[in-house]
Chain A
């Protein structure tokens, strides 16, 4: 019996008003005309709740671009699932939020790219800082639990103190300081995004100093970069152990980046029940648990803590997702990661968009739903 998942990341759409160069969506974005329908998303929520999911992130892209976000949130609520809206803030009006709260929405996570408005807008690829500030006020006024999410990289990590001050000013309960993880768009733009080791160490010290000062006033979540100290991250709490992602077209993934692993075959909710995909599909079974582990993980005392690290990173750097994560100092491929860390440049990052995705171009195009 495979223990059921606790959490679902629902990527409701890959359409987004922002064009961040580190977007966690895959390079091959799902076009709006290939997205699941309202009924299909409601069915996903219903099946997820029945199999044991109790938390869902309503994410994207920008989930507010789905005109049917309220009925989808309602379906999650009816399935007993606690929902979090993960948003850029663009389009989050008082009325829209009130409708979502009435549909059972539990909390909101708002992205910010930089504490300076102009720099924020440059990273996001459009004017958006003022919208974010307005969205923060709307969230605060609704008295919802409110988290900020800031993806950290070379261009904003030195502003960490100002990020925390902004969070206090905007009335957040929590700030997720998420060091960029280098696959997908961030891998494409790695040379432009990689922070220096000195930057990372300074930021980590600032986080610790703030925690001492803030106490319980503001929770700081520091998502540790795995390229700093030779210790891999326990990606997703283990492959197929805690969480699953449903992509906009219904593809079910063990993590949001897993579509990059081209050697796996991922199932779709249109063809199979969610619980069968979780329990029986080859992609979820591939790296679940510790039996599959390669050497040196197999005999490592940390194998129950990090499960061999990140499969997507192993695949990206070695071409074999079953290798030890090269982020680990014990990996025979650790030199590959060291080499990548030394490879930085000043070129502008490629903006995330349907158009900029490398590889074969789809032949149909349609304006995003709005």
Chain B
């Protein structure tokens, strides 16, 4: 994955908090994805400005003992393959 990649959510994907279920959701055509763990926190940083490195750094700051170096890029790659990130 390019280190210069500044991911942003695809145009047809919407990220929102659902206060009724107290959950973060991705809304897509014919589909709702319930985000677990830090998924929403990571995707909120996908604003087209943060690089992967910057996103990892932000997460590492909030989760000092988590294996974010490996897990955050792997998660973003999975979401990218789904077509939800550009």
Which chain A residues have a beta carbon within 8 Å of chain B's beta carbons? 4, 6, 50-52, 54-55, 80, 82, 84, 106-107, 143-145, 147, 173-174, 216
- The count of chain B contact residues (Cβ–Cβ below 8 Å) is 14
Q: Is the CB of A174 within 8 A of B21?
A: no
Q: How far is A80 from B24 in the complex, measured between Cα atoms in Å? A: 12
Q: How far is A110 from B21 in the complex, measured between Cα atoms in Å? A: 32
Closest to A4 in B: B20
16 contacting pairs across A/B (C-beta < 8 A): A4-B20, A4-B21, A50-B20, A51-B20, A52-B20, A54-B18, A55-B30, A82-B27, A84-B29, A106-B27, A106-B29, A143-B11, A144-B12, A145-B29, A147-B30, A174-B29
Q: Is the CB of A6 within 8 A of B27?
A: no
Which chain B residues have a beta carbon within 8 Å of chain A's beta carbons? 11-12, 14, 16, 18, 20-21, 25, 27-30, 32, 83
Closest to A57 in B: B30
Q: A173 to chain B: which residues have CB within 8 Å?
A: 29
Closest 10 CB pairs of A and B: A52-B20, A82-B27, A107-B29, A145-B12, A145-B29, A4-B20, A54-B27, A54-B32, A6-B32, A80-B16
Residue of B16, B18, B21, B29 ringed by the most chain A CB atoms within 10 A:
B29
Closest to A3 in B: B21
Q: B14 to chain A: which residues have CB within 8 Å?
A: 82, 106
Q: How far is A174 from B18 in the complex, measured between Cα atoms in Å? A: 27
Closest to B12 in A: A145
Q: How far is A4 from B32 in the complex, measured between Cα atoms in Å? A: 14
Q: Is the CB of B30 within 8 A of A84?
A: yes
Task: Count A-B contacts at CB 8 Å.
Answer: 40
Q: Is the CB of B21 within 8 A of A52?
A: yes
Q: Is the CB of A55 within 8 A of B27?
A: yes
Q: Is the CB of A107 within 8 A of B12?
A: yes
Q: How far is A106 from B30 in the complex, measured between Cα atoms in Å? A: 10
Q: How far is A51 from B16 in the complex, measured between Cα atoms in Å? A: 15
Q: Is the CB of A216 within 8 A of B12?
A: no
8 Å CB contact of B25 from A50, A54, A147, A216? A54
Q: Is the CB of B18 within 8 A of A216?
A: no
Residue of B14, B20, B32 ringed by the most chain A CB atoms within 10 A:
B20
Rounded to whole Å, the gap between the CB of B2 and the closest CB of chain A is 20
Q: A147 to chain B: which residues have CB within 8 Å?
A: 29-30
Q: A6 to chain B: which residues have CB within 8 Å?
A: 32
Rounded to whole Å, the gap between the CB of A214 and the closest CB of chain B is 14
Q: B12 to chain A: which residues have CB within 8 Å?
A: 106-107, 144-145
Q: B28 to chain A: which residues have CB within 8 Å?
A: 82, 145
